[in-house]
Amino acid sequence: MDNSEISTDISMTSALLSEFQLSIDTACLNRLKQLSKEKIEDSIHGFLYGVTVNKSITITSACYVDEKLKSATFMEQFSKNRSIFPVGVDPIGVFLANCDIKEAPDIIPMSSISPLPELLVCAHLDNAEEWTFYEYNRLTKALTALSCTETDTNPYTDHTLFNTSCTVDISYKFSTKKAELQSNCVAAVDSVIKSLASETVLFGVRHSNVIVGAKSAIGASQEDSVGKIVKIINKQAAAEGSSSGRKNSPNQASIVYVEVLKRLTVSADSNNDAPFSPVIYYDKGEDLLIKLKVPLNCLALAHRDTTLQELVPILYRSLVRQLHSACHILSNCTGTDIPVLSVCHYWIDGVYYPISVVQSTSKDADLVAWRRSMHVKLMLPLDRPYFRNANVFKFPKESSLLSPQLINPHVGISLTQKLQAGEGSVRLVYGKYAYHHYMQDRFDDDKWGCAYRSLQTLISWFRLQGYTEAAVPTHREIQQVLVDIGDKESSFVGSKQWIGSTEVSFVLEKLLNVTSKIMFVSSGADLASKGRELVYHFSTEGTPIMIGGGVLAHTILGVYYNDQTGDIKFLILDPHLTRLDENLKYIQDKGWCGWKNADFWNANAYYNMCMPQRPKEF
C-alpha cells in the first residue's frame, strides 16, 4: 500500500486533540472491556477506528492484534486491519491494556509512517474497569490525558454509504519462481490502479442521470453535495416505486449504488497520458499468461456536505484498497491453481457499517480458521456465527431477489407505556428472521397451516443468522420429515392436518440439528407467570419461540416483564395474516405484529412453547 493512499484517508489534523470532543461507542467500549477481562494475564494491543466530523471524534470500532505488536510490524498490521472497513472509517489511534502505558513508544512508529498524523488517541486500561484516553505525540512521545464520553448515538447519520462495483481485467506472466510471480502480479495490479486514476474513468450514480469524473460532471455540478444527490435519487425512486437510496434500517446510512464507466473520448486539451495513436511493443517468445476478471464491490462513507469533486477521490480510494486486498491473495498463490475471488460484506448488529473482505473460497468448511481470526480481531463472541455464507449482507437491490417475506417487521414497534429505570425488563429476539404467514408461496393453508408458518419463521432465523444454508421447507417437506422419523403415518403427507410445538421441535432437530426446550402451560392465564423464563430465554438464546394452544399458533418475538409488579407483555408475530401485500405499516397498525397483554391468550386452553436452543458455534 502506498503512502498517498494512507495520508488521504486520515481526517485527523495536527491541531491539539484536546480541542476535539472525543467519544467512544458503547458497544465498542464493551468489547474492549470484555477482551481485557478474558485476557487479564496478557498484555493487549490494537487499533482504534472511527470518524471525525468538525470538532468531534467518535471511536466506533477496534481491532485486536493477536500478537505482540511492535513498531516493526505496526504498518503491516495497520494496513491489514483497516482494509476491512469502508473508506471513511478512519484510524483514530491505538489501545493498550493489561500493560504499562510506557510501552506506547515501543509500539507506535516515530518516523516510518510519516503520513500518519503526529497526534493520535491512545486508550489505556490498567484494570478491567476504567479506560484512560490520552493524546499521544509521536514526535515528543508525550502523553496528555483526554476527556472521553460514552455514546450510543450513531455518528454516521449524516453520511451516505457508496457501493461502487465494476469488474477489472488483470493479466500477468506466470512464473515458477514465487518472488517473480509476486512481482508480476503487483505490477499488473498497479497498472490497473493507474488506469482507474485516468480522466477517462467516470462514476455513474444508479437511479439518476448523474455521472461524475475527476474534472467533470453530467447531470449535476461538481460543487453539488452528496446530500443533494441522495435527494435526486430518492425523488426518482419514489416516482419508480423503488427504494434505491433509502435507508435500509434506522441504524444504517442511506445507500447509493455507483458503477465505474469508461469514457471513449477525451478532450483535446486533456492532460490524460493516453497516446493519440496506438503503440505496439512486440516481444517474441512463449509465456504462460494469467488472465483474470476480478469483481470489485467497494464501500465508502461520505458526509452529506461532501461535494462531488471531493467524492471522486473517495470512491477511487475504495477501489484501490480492494485491489490491494485482491493483490495480496493473488500474489501469494503458487502454481497454476489461481483462485476465483469474491467480495463479501458482513453487517454485524451494533456496527454502523459493513465489514468487507476479499475471499478466495466460498466454502464454510474451508474458512473455519479465517472466521475464528475475524471473531478474535473484532472481539466478537465465538458462540455464534458472524462470517458464514448465510451472514453475507445483501444490499437492498439484491435482497428482494432472495426472499419475498418481510424481514424483522417488529422493528419500529414500541411499548405503549414509557418505561422508567427499574420498571421491568424488555428482551427481544436477536438478529433477523423472515415473516411467514398464510397464503404465501402461492399455497393456500388458511385455517390449518399457522404452526407450519411459525416453524418456517424459526428456520428463517437460523438461516439469516448463518447457522444453516438449508432452504426453508415447504408444508409438504415438513410433513415428510415427520413421516421419515416415524412420528406420522404416510397418509399425513399432503394432508391439511395441524402440527404442534412438539412436531416443530422434531423438524428443527432433524433438519438443522437444533434441540429445543418445550415449556408446558396449563392455561393461557398461567402464561403471565412465565416472565422470568422468557426473559432468560431471549437474554441467552435469542431465538423466536413457537407457541401453540387451542387451535392457534403464534410466534413470540420478545417479552416485557416487571418482576416487582408481575406485569407482562408479549411481542407477537401472527402467522394468520392472509393478505399477500407485504405492507409493513398495515401489519404493524393492525396488530399482526405487536405487543399483546396477558389476556391475549385463551384462558381455557393449554399451551406448549417450542424454545429453540441456539448452537454455540461460530
3-state secondary structure 250-284: CCCCEEEEEEEEECCCCCCCCCCCCCCCCCCCCCC
What pLDDT is stored for residue 11 in this prediction?
A: 38
423 vs 276, more confident? 423
What pLDDT is stored for residue 283 in this prediction?
A: 75
Distance of CA 417 to the CA centre of its chain: 32
Q: Which candidate, 446, 457, 552, places its Cα nearest to that of 499? A: 552
Half-sphere exposure (Cβ direction) of 434: Cα atoms closer than 13 Å: 20
What pLDDT is stored for residue 175 in this prediction?
A: 85
What pLDDT is stored for residue 404 in this prediction?
A: 74
Q: Sorting pLDDT into bands at 50, 70 and 90, what band is 339?
A: confident
What's 355's DSSP letter?
E
pLDDT surpasses 60 at 95 = yes
pLDDT surpasses 50 at 332 = yes
For the segment 154-181, the average pLDDT, to the nearest whole number, is: 91
If you count them, how many residues does the chain have? 618
Domains parsed from the chain with CATH numbers: 3-151 (3.40.140.10), 159-271+284-391 (no CATH), 425-612 (3.90.70.130)
Question: Which of 268-272, 378-382, 456-460, 553-557 has the least mean pLDDT?
Answer: 268-272
- Which of 110-119, 231-240, 520-529 tops mean pLDDT? 520-529
CA distance 183 to 249: 44
pLDDT surpasses 70 at 129 = no
In degrees to the nearest 10, what's the CA dihedral of 210, 213, 216, 221? 40
What pLDDT is stored for residue 101 in this prediction?
A: 79
For the segment 533-557, the average pLDDT, to the nearest whole number, is: 96
CA distance 463 to 104: 44
What pLDDT is stored for residue 6 in this prediction?
A: 38
CA distance 108 to 120: 10
What pLDDT is stored for residue 442 in this prediction?
A: 92
pLDDT surpasses 80 at 392 = yes
**DSSP string for residues in 393-449:** PPPHHHHTTT-SSPB-TTTT---SSPPPTTS-EEEE--S--B---TTGGG---TTT-
What pLDDT is stored for residue 70 in this prediction?
A: 62
What pLDDT is stored for residue 362 in this prediction?
A: 67
Buried b (16+ CB within 10 A) or exposed e, 566-604: ebbbbbbbbbebeeeeeeeeebbeeebbbbbebeebbee
* SS3 of the chain: helix, strand, coil, percent, to 5: 30, 25, 45
pLDDT surpasses 70 at 249 = no
For the segment 365-390, the average pLDDT, to the nearest whole number, is: 91
**Left, alpha or beta for 584 (phi > 0: left; psi -120 to 50: alpha)?**
alpha
Q: Sorting pLDDT into bands at 50, 70 and 90, what band is 254?
A: confident
What pLDDT is stored for residue 379 in this prediction?
A: 93
**Which residues carry out catalysis?**
450, 574, 576
For the segment 116-138, the average pLDDT, to the nearest whole number, is: 73
| 610 close to 505: Cβ distance less than 8 angstroms | yes
Q: Which helix (H) or strand (E) holds 595?
A: strand 593-597
pLDDT, the chain, mean: 85
CA distance 114 to 456: 56
The helix/strand/coil state of 382 is coil
The helix/strand/coil state of 232 is helix
For the segment 556-575, the average pLDDT, to the nearest whole number, is: 95
For the segment 388-417, the average pLDDT, to the nearest whole number, is: 78
* Helix pair 475-484, 450-464: axis angle to 10 deg: 90
What pLDDT is stored for residue 418 in this prediction?
A: 54
What pLDDT is stored for residue 71 in this prediction?
A: 58
Q: Sorting pLDDT into bands at 50, 70 and 90, what band is 14?
A: very low
Residues ≥6 apart with Cβ < 8 Å to 284: none
pLDDT surpasses 70 at 397 = no
What cell numbers appear for 496 in the block?
391439511
CA distance 78 to 74: 6
For the segment 39-43, the average pLDDT, to the nearest whole number, is: 74
Portion of the chain with pLDDT greater than 70, in percent: 85
The helix/strand/coil state of 161 is strand
Question: Which of 59-73, 290-304, 518-532 has the least mean pLDDT?
Answer: 59-73
What are the angstrom distances between the C-alpha of 255 and each of 50, 226, 260, 405, 588? 19, 11, 16, 21, 25
Question: Which of 126-135, 253-262, 489-498 has the least mean pLDDT?
Answer: 126-135
Q: Which candidate, 112, 168, 164, places its Cα nearest to that of 138? A: 112
Portion of the chain with pLDDT greater than 90, in percent: 55
Q: Which helix (H) or strand (E) holds 31?
A: helix 26-38
pTM recorded for the entire structure: 0.84
| 379 close to 49: Cβ distance less than 8 angstroms | no
The helix/strand/coil state of 454 is helix
pLDDT tens digit sequence for 583-615? 899 999 999 999 999 999 999 999 999 999 999
For the segment 254-272, the average pLDDT, to the nearest whole number, is: 75
Q: Sorting pLDDT into bands at 50, 70 and 90, what band is 126?
A: low
What cell numbers appear for 490 in the block?
404416510
What cell numbers appear for 493 in the block?
403427507
**DSSP string for residues in 528-581:** GGGHHHHHHHHHHT---EEEEETTEEEEEEEEEE-TTT--EEEEEE-TT----S
pLDDT surpasses 60 at 15 = no
pLDDT tens digit sequence for 42-60? 778 888 999 988 888 999 9
What pLDDT is stored for residue 113 in this prediction?
A: 39
Give the strand pairing for 545-549 and 568-573: unpaired
What pLDDT is stored for residue 406 in this prediction?
A: 92
| 299 close to 87: Cβ distance less than 8 angstroms | yes
What cell numbers appear for 72 in the block?
516493526
